[in-house]
Amino acid sequence: MRVGGIPMSWTEDMQKLKVVADKIAAGRDGKGMTSCLTKPIENTYYEKRTHTSAEHMTVLFEYVASTPIELREQIEQIWNVNGKSDMLDLASICMISAARCRPKQGEVGKRREVSQYVYEF
């Protein structure tokens, strides 16, 4: 069953995410997805890379975000350098969702052995 288009089984965080995403979509007026770190080239569907704009997001980077707050900082930085400021409203929702959904200590690493060398996590 749905209320206002949102399934009732959804968590509050999922509902918030949809509401904010829909609001951003309305503000974009039908404009499609825009990728990070690329710009279009005329008369072709190829895109060029724009690495210089995101020093933290080179092709190889040290992964340091280990808390929801650090994750939020990282994603905000990506959106800021790529001109996606309209998405910043999603940052808090993502941080809270990440914190609530994060596997508890001990849950990570639970695995089902398929064979001696194959595990399903």
Partner 1 sequence: MDRWLENVIAVSPDNCAIIEKSYESMFADKLWVHDLIRNELGKLGIADKLYVCEHHVSHAASAFYPSPFNEAAILTMDGVGEWATTTIGYGKNKEIEILEQISYPHSLGLLYSAFTFFCGFKVNFGEYKLMGLAPYGEPIYANLIKEKLIDIRDDGSFRLNLDYFSFTNKSVMTDEAFEKLFDTPRRLPEEQITRKYMDIAASIQVVTEEVVLGLARHARKITGCKNLVLAGGIALNCVANGRVLKDKVFENIWIQPAAGDAGGALGAALYATYHLSDIPRTVESTDSQRGTYLGPKYSVEEIEIFLKNNKYPYRVYEEKELYHQIARYLADNKVIGLLNGRMEFGPRALGGRSIIANPMSEEMQSKLNLKIKFRESFRPFAPAVLRERVADYFELDTDSPYMLLVAPVREEIRETNDTYGEKYTGDDQIDMLQVIKRKRSTIPAVTHVDYSARIQTVDSERNPYFYRIIKSFEKITGCGVVVNTSFNVRGEPIVCTPDDAYRCFMRTDMDVLVMENCVLLKEEQKPLENDESWRNTYELD
Q: Which of residues 35-94 bind partner 1 (CB under 8 A)?
A: 35-38, 41, 44-49, 59-63, 65-66, 71, 75, 78-79, 84, 87, 90, 94
Q: Specify the pairing of strand 2-3 against strand 6-7.
A: antiparallel
- Whole-angstrom distance between the N-terminal and C-terminal Cα of the chain? 32
Beta-bridged to residue 7, according to DSSP, are 2
Are the C-beta atoms of 45 and 72 separated by less than 8 Å?
no
Enter the tokens of residue 106. Answer: 């001990």
Among 69, 83, 92, 108, interactor with partner 1 by CB under 8 A: 108
Can you give the binding site for partner 1, defined by CB under 8 A? 2, 5-7, 10, 14, 17-18, 21-22, 24-26, 28, 32-38, 41, 44-49, 59-63, 65-66, 71, 75, 78-79, 84, 87, 90, 94, 97-98, 100-103, 108-109, 114-118, 121
